[in-house]
Chain A
Amino acid sequence: MASLDDLKKRISSVKSTQKITKAMKMVAAAKLRRAQESAERGRPYSEKMNNIILNLSSGVSDKENAPKLLSGTGDDKVHLCVVLTADRGLCGGFNSNIIKKAKSYFQKISDSGKTLKIITVGSKGYDQLKRLYQDKIIENISFKESKNANYFDADKVGKIIIEKFENNEFDVCTIFYNQFKNVITQIPQEQQIIPLKTEEKDNKSSEENYEFEPDEDEILGNLLPKNISTQIFKAMLENSASEQGSRMSAMDNATRNAGEMVDKLTIEYNRSRQAAITKELIEIISGAESL
Chain B
Amino acid sequence: MSEGFNIDIVNPEKSFLSKENVSEVVVPAYEGEMGILKDHIPIISFLKPGIIKVISGSEEHNFYVEDGIVEFKDNTLSILTSSIFDIKNANKKHVSDEIQEAEKELNKDDLNDQKRFLLNHKVEILKSISIN
By a beta-carbon cutoff of 8 Å, the part of chain A in contact with chain B is 38, 41-42, 44-46, 48-49, 51-52, 55-56, 150-151, 154-155, 206, 209-214, 219, 222-223, 226, 230, 233
Closest Cβ–Cβ distance, residue A222 to chain B (whole Å): 6
- Which listed residue, B13, B43, B71, touches A151 by the CB 8 Å rule? B13
Closest Cβ–Cβ distance, residue B84 to chain A (whole Å): 12
B-chain residues with CB within 8 Å of residue A223 when the two chains form the complex: 69
Which of B4-12, B54-62, B97-105, B117-125 is the interface stretch? Answer: B4-12
Q: Is the CB of A52 within 8 A of B71?
A: yes
Closest Cβ–Cβ distance, residue A203 to chain B (whole Å): 16
* Total residue contacts A-B, CB cutoff 8 A: 75
By a beta-carbon cutoff of 8 Å, the part of chain B in contact with chain A is 8, 10-15, 29-31, 34, 41-46, 69, 71, 73, 78, 80, 82
B-chain residues with CB within 8 Å of residue A155 when the two chains form the complex: 82
Q: Is the CB of A48 within 8 A of B71?
A: yes
A-chain residues with CB within 8 Å of residue B69 when the two chains form the complex: 49, 52, 219, 223, 226
A-chain residues with CB within 8 Å of residue B14 when the two chains form the complex: 38, 41-42
Q: Is the CB of A230 within 8 A of B12?
A: yes
Cα separation A48 to B73 with both chains bound (whole Å): 12
Q: Is the CB of A214 within 8 A of B42?
A: no
Given contacts A45-B11, A52-B71, A223-B69, contact A213 B29 (CB under 8 A): yes
- Which listed residue, A42, A51, A214, touches B13 by the CB 8 Å rule? A42
Interface of B is mostly: strand
Cα separation A211 to B14 with both chains bound (whole Å): 27
Most chain A CB atoms below 10 A, which of B8, B11, B14, B44 = B44
Q: Is the CB of A211 within 8 A of B46?
A: no
A-chain residues with CB within 8 Å of residue B43 when the two chains form the complex: 210-213
Cα separation A230 to B12 with both chains bound (whole Å): 7
Q: Is the CB of A219 within 8 A of B46?
A: yes
A-chain residues with CB within 8 Å of residue B42 when the two chains form the complex: 206, 209-211
Cα separation A219 to B46 with both chains bound (whole Å): 7
Closest Cβ–Cβ distance, residue A214 to chain B (whole Å): 6
Cα separation A213 to B32 with both chains bound (whole Å): 10
Q: Is the CB of B30 within 8 A of A214?
A: yes
Cα separation A56 to B45 with both chains bound (whole Å): 11
Q: Is the CB of B12 within 8 A of A45?
A: yes
Q: Is the CB of A211 within 8 A of B41?
A: yes
B-chain residues with CB within 8 Å of residue A51 when the two chains form the complex: 71
Residue of B nearest to A219 (CB): B44
Cα separation A38 to B11 with both chains bound (whole Å): 12
Q: Is the CB of B44 within 8 A of A56?
A: yes
Closest Cβ–Cβ distance, residue A236 to chain B (whole Å): 10
Q: Is the CB of B30 within 8 A of A150?
A: no
B-chain residues with CB within 8 Å of residue A230 when the two chains form the complex: 12
Residue of B nearest to A37 (CB): B14
Q: Is the CB of B13 within 8 A of A210?
A: no
Q: Is the CB of B46 within 8 A of A45?
A: no
Residue of B nearest to A148 (CB): B13
A sample of 27 cross-chain residue pairs with beta-carbon separation below 8 angstroms, ordered by A number, consists of A41-B15, A42-B13, A42-B14, A44-B10, A44-B15, A48-B78, A49-B69, A52-B44, A52-B80, A56-B44, A151-B11, A151-B13, A154-B12, A155-B82, A210-B42, A210-B44, A212-B43, A212-B45, A213-B34, A213-B44, A213-B46, A214-B45, A219-B44, A219-B45, A222-B46, A226-B82, A230-B12
